[in-house]
Amino acid sequence: MRADHIAVVGAAETTDLGKTPHISQLGMHADAALNALADAGLTIHDIDGVATAGERPTDIAHYLGIVPRWVDGTSVGGCSFMLHVRHAAAAIAAGLCTTVLITHAESGRSRVGTGRGGGGNRSSLPAQFEAPFGSMGPPTMFTIPVLRYMKDHGLTHEQLANVAVVQREWAGMNPRATFQDPITVDDVLDSRMIAYPFHLLECCLVTDGGGALILTAGERADDFAQPPVYVLGHGESVETPMVSQMEDFSSSRAFKVAGTDAFASSGITHADVDHLMVYDAFAHLPLYGLEDLGFCERGEAGDFVWEGNTRPGGSLPMNTNGGGLSYMHSGMYGMYALQESVRQMRGTAAAQVPGAEVSVALGVGGMFAASGCVVFTNQRPD
């Protein structure tokens, strides 16, 4: 086993997801961390590395009583936790620390202890050259490239809606999913228009929740309570804080860089992938992800999903927890994609993919601003 092969030995979400006004954002970080420690059979004193986003590592380490020798506060949006996994792998391999705790939590719905507010920086480039034109958060910004994609590649409104339909199928198999009732393409297209061409059911939920991961050297992974899930490869990148300045409105450059490096560093091919998570803040993201990771040619992902390849029983099960569209989305969803990959590799997912051995989790940060990609396996690497 290579020195940089690390393993997830603890993984858990917050005890509750959804609407949890009885607990603060910081409190949820701790709840997820303590759940992950119990999952691994470790105590707080075993942790010597801390990574988090949204909150600062300082706040998390102090609140939990951790004395870290390594911290990572990389905060590039909802994929930050994929980057933390990658950075933790390098840090553990370099001997900077042995056991890393990565936490996420966000009181996205109840806004308890979030510390948000104020006008922000009105001189940043996005504030000067995008905000004056009436953007009202991600539903009006993340979605802007899609009409260009639809015209250039023939994606239909029905195919876009169908992404949400398929993910609801998965959510229907997951008792923790916020929305579980089946929906049809017509239901999606009949739901309230948020920002044309996006309807309510093509936009993610806004919920409270969190999750935590514990990672250590792969060679130690057999000593823990849970079956080890190895980190086989990874990649990361950023592109632009302004959606209007993306190089290509039909593709995320950050997805391509992160995905290419994740596949190359893990040595896998597309045929090796049994399970895929693509961060779905909105219905177009899985389509961009499928194409930018190379599972589909440009413009073919709408057909690929329509033909049932990503649904239960399909050739490439994707977003098997129901995704941000139906499972939960607290604001920085990447942690939940990682949690589902780990569950699938442990064989404990609510909608388990039989015999899955390799899982890929692709995250997005900001609005096509950043990306991180992690390849997991439950097979001991060479």
Partner 1 sequence: MSERSQRRLPVPTPETQHFWDGTKRGELLLQRCTECDGVHFPPRPFCPACGHREVEAFAATGRGTLYSYVINHTPNPAFDGPYAIAVVQLDEGPRMMTNIVDCEQTPEALELDMPVEVSYLDASDEITLPLFRPAAPVEGPA
Residues that bind partner 1 (CB under 8 A): 122-123, 125, 127-136, 139-141, 143-148, 151, 192-198, 242, 244-245, 249
To partner 1, the closest distance from the beta carbon of 145 in angstroms equals 6
Q: Token digits for 55?
A: 């909150």
To partner 1, the closest distance from the beta carbon of 166 in angstroms equals 23
Q: Token digits for 300?
A: 């073919």
Respond yes or no: is residue 279 known to be catalytic: yes
In this structure, the number of other CB atoms found within 10 A of the CB of residue 61 comes to 19
- Please provide the size of the chain in residues: 382
* Of 69 and 148, CB closest to partner 1: 148
To partner 1, the closest distance from the beta carbon of 129 in angstroms equals 5
Contacts of 103 (CB under 8 A, 6+ apart): 29, 32, 33, 50, 51, 52, 55, 60, 210, 211, 212
Respond yes or no: is residue 327 known to be catalytic: yes
- The active-site residue out of 279, 288, 333, 336 is 279
Tell me if 364 sits within 8 A of 77, measured CB to CB.
yes
Tell me if 286 sits within 8 A of 304, measured CB to CB.
no
* Of 129 and 297, CB closest to partner 1: 129
Tell me if 280 sits within 8 A of 204, measured CB to CB.
yes
The closest alpha carbon to 330, from 10, 61, 100, 20, belongs to 20
Query: Quick check: helix, strand or coil at residue 101?
Result: strand
- The active-site residue out of 149, 327, 333, 336 is 327
* Of 95 and 132, CB closest to partner 1: 132
To partner 1, the closest distance from the beta carbon of 194 in angstroms equals 6
Residue with tokens 């590799």: 345
Residue 335, CA distances (Å) to 27, 65, 243, 342 in order: 17, 22, 23, 11
* Of 92 and 141, CB closest to partner 1: 141
* Of 134 and 175, CB closest to partner 1: 134
Q: How far apart are CA 209 and CA 31, in angstroms?
A: 10
The closest alpha carbon to 173, from 355, 350, 381, belongs to 350
Query: Quick check: helix, strand or coil at residue 213?
Result: strand
Q: Token digits for 154?
A: 């023939």
To partner 1, the closest distance from the beta carbon of 201 in angstroms equals 14
To partner 1, the closest distance from the beta carbon of 148 in angstroms equals 4
* Of 233 and 241, CB closest to partner 1: 241
Task: Just list the catalytic residues.
Answer: 279, 327
